[in-house]
Amino acid sequence: MYDFTKESCRDFVKVLASSDPVPGGGGAAALVAAIGCALGNMVGSLTVGKKKYADVEAEIIALKEKCDSLEKELLDQVAADAEGFEPLARAYSIPKDSPNREIILENATRSACHVPIRIMELCCEAITATAGFAEKGSRLAVSDAGCGAVILKAALEAASLNVYINTKSMKNREEAEKLNARCEEMLRKGEAEADSIYQSVRGRFIG
């Protein structure tokens, strides 16, 4: 599958706006999440090496290493999401009178949920890391941690919609509801933590 992240920002947006089926919402969510994660990571970069933050430097370095890994995996999910959608696109093109259409479609629909759920998991991890940067990172760049949290929350919610659109049409309702419950759990945790970061950062500027 072609790696759209190798395109320029302008080219990525152009193909995103086109009639091409990929990249779509999942890929966009992954890219946005990588950007949000990088903003928190920037706070870490501006903290390491400063005498004022020497007592938390080891912790900040560990958070940066974590975010380096998260950024890479999130960017990898752009192509993974496109690849995961291909079988579903092919399944929809199977003639409706084909005896195997329903089972192929069901399997492809379930599989199309996997990458968006992984994107959500990564968003939650990145939000938690961003909380560390917001709390202990350079005060001069704390607004960037707040921005990162807001962006990661949006990416988390966007990725969830790419799960729900698929679980809605699944025939196996028990499995669909399990996937939905997993999304709801991550949304509750991730949204609350991201909102807490935003309010904490905002509170430092507005009394």
Q: Where are the domains of the chain?
A: 21-203
Environment class of residue 4 by beta-carbon count within 10 Å: exposed (0-12), middle (13-18) or buried (19+)? Answer: buried
CB-based contact 76:62 (threshold 8 Å): no
What's the pLDDT score for residue 89? 87
What's the pLDDT score for residue 96? 87
Q: What's the Cα-to-Cα distance from 188 to each of 85, 160, 182, 191, 194, rounded to whole Å?
A: 26, 12, 10, 6, 10
What's the pLDDT score for residue 132? 98
What angle, 0 to 180 degrees and rounded to 10, lies between the N-to-C axes of helices 9-16 and 25-45? 150
Residue whose pair of structure tokens reads 């999304």 in the numeric block: 183
- Residues composing the chain: 207
pTM metric for this prediction: 0.94
What's the pLDDT score for residue 21? 83
In tens digits, the chain (207 residues) has pLDDT values of 678 898 899 999 999 999 988 899 999 999 999 999 999 999 999 999 999 999 999 999 999 999 999 999 999 999 999 999 888 889 888 998 899 999 999 999 999 999 999 999 999 999 999 999 999 999 999 999 999 999 999 999 999 999 999 999 999 999 999 999 999 999 999 999 999 999 999 999 997
CB-based contact 60:133 (threshold 8 Å): yes
What's the pLDDT score for residue 119? 98
Nearest to 118 by CA among 26, 198, 50, 37: 26
What's the pLDDT score for residue 1? 60
What's the pLDDT score for residue 198? 98
Fold of 21-203: Four Helix Bundle (Hemerythrin (Met), subunit A) (1.20.120)
